[in-house]
A and B are shown apart, each in its own frame.
Chain A
Amino acid sequence: MDGPHDLGGKEGFGPIDVTSPPFRHEWERRQWALSKTSDKGAMGGSIDAWRHTLELLPPAVYHAVPYFEKWCIQSLCVLVRDGGVSLDEVVRAADATPEGPGTARIWSVEDAVEAVRANEAFFDADPGEPPAFEVGERVRTLRHGSPGHTRLPAYARGAVGTVTAHHGGHIYADLSAEGLEEGRHLYTVAFTAPELWGGTADPRDTVLLDLWEPYLVPA
């Protein structure tokens, strides 16, 4: 979808705050921690469904609220949509002093560190057919995007690049967001800066993207 998240190449954002640390406020740390343990069950789904829920924030909200607030709204949305929590319950939870210790097991720091290690995930999936492209081949990306979740950014559509790597089959993000785990061939494709940004771009520079086969046609 042409959502507010698809930021590559958009102009007018101004300078970058290059000194910024990972966290500025305690609630940001809290939200980061929440996302570590709440990304399962009623608050979870695939990484692609997670991303797509976030992409569907109203554009004005997406651009206005801080980064970790988006994660919070994402999780609250999933709780209401899939977790049987009502809008009223969410609003009350923001207002009331929480009660009771809950029933979840308490983790130690060691448990958390081990959980990060054990969370190594692989996205390989058999595409069921041989690759259509090989390394060194010229390919063109699709001109039009998908109405749903997709990982072909708008700035790289309708552009010609060169396949620099083939990664075998990976779970196809576009279908994974819809709950279907299917493999498609995944490639790294290099685009010259002038191909993407026009003749004034620096010819020494390239942009490389990891793109699934359905995004590509022979150039």
Chain B
Amino acid sequence: MAFDRDKTAHIHRELHSHLPPDPALRVKALESLAVERGYVARETLDAWIEAYSERIGPKRGAEVVARSWVAPDFRQRLLDNAGMAVREFGYEGHATGHLKAVENSDSVQNLVVCTLCSCYPFALLGMSPIWYRSAAYRARAVREPRKVLAEFGVTLPEAVGVRVWDSTAELRYLVVPQRPAGTEGWPEDRLAALVTRNAMIGTQRDLALPDTDGPG
């Protein structure tokens, strides 16, 4: 079935002018229709909310990053094909089929954005923070990444170039931050606790150690 653009735009206008403006009521309308038509049960929506609050979130990505720091063979598998590598944790799934891991270095800071919508590796990092899908971030990350990073408290050393990855196709990106100095010999779980969601998107560069006043 060919996409009917005019009809779609017309329905949008009709819906917007006839529905109550409160978004909670609009979502209620969708939920009622979806339940009534047998697409989903109300209790299932509660299960989804709990799954994404408790089980699926940035702690998953942090575990993957920590292992890449301690296991050189895993690091290589992650860089070769991150989608396959996260399967070793059982963290593959929604939007990780074509996952690419990009490492920060002394001369590179990676930054991920989706200027056209809000692409994100959901199964690995959970739901994205609001700022990631905000118009301001989507508009500015590609044009003035250094100003954007400054708003997140990141000042880049002179030698560092920014690589901005705009997720325009079905590839998704995981930024692998640098392992902080002073963590030699730490076990994986202790290292994983240092890795933040922002660091894995690229809006944090230096990971803070506990009980220090590091940035971030």
Contact = CB atoms under 8 A, between A and B. Distances in A.
Contact of A18 (B14, B96, B97, B151): B151
Contacts of B130: 17, 20-24, 67
Given A16-B136, A113-B56, A167-B98, A94 B26 contact: yes
Contacts of B55: 109, 113
A117 B123 CA distance: 7
Contacts of B88: none
Chain B interface residue number, banded: 35 or more
Contact of B96 (A13, A68, A120): A120
A91 B20 CA distance: 8
B138 A116 contact: no
A17 B134 contact: yes
Interface in A36-80: 36-38, 40-43, 47, 49, 51-54, 56-58, 61, 63, 65-69, 72-73, 75-77, 79-80
Contact of A116 (B25, B51, B162): B51
Contacts of B44: 33, 37, 104-107, 111-112
B30 A75 contact: yes
Contacts of B37: 42, 83, 102
A49 B24 CA distance: 25
Interface in B2-25: 2-5, 7-9, 11-16, 18-20, 23-25
Interface string B95-134: 1111000000000000001011110001100111111011
B139 A10 contact: yes
B19 A9 contact: no
B3 A148 contact: yes
Contact of A73 (B15, B49, B168, B169): B15
A217 interface: no
Interface of B: 1-5, 7-9, 11-16, 18-20, 23-52, 54-56, 83, 90-98, 113, 115-118, 122-123, 126-131, 133-140, 142-143, 145-146, 148, 151-153, 160-171, 203
Interface of A: 1, 5-11, 13-27, 29-34, 36-38, 40-43, 47, 49, 51-54, 56-58, 61, 63, 65-69, 72-73, 75-77, 79-83, 85, 87, 89-91, 93-96, 98, 100-109, 111-113, 116-123, 148-149, 151-153, 155-156, 167, 170-171, 173, 177-179, 186, 188, 190, 196-197, 202, 204-212
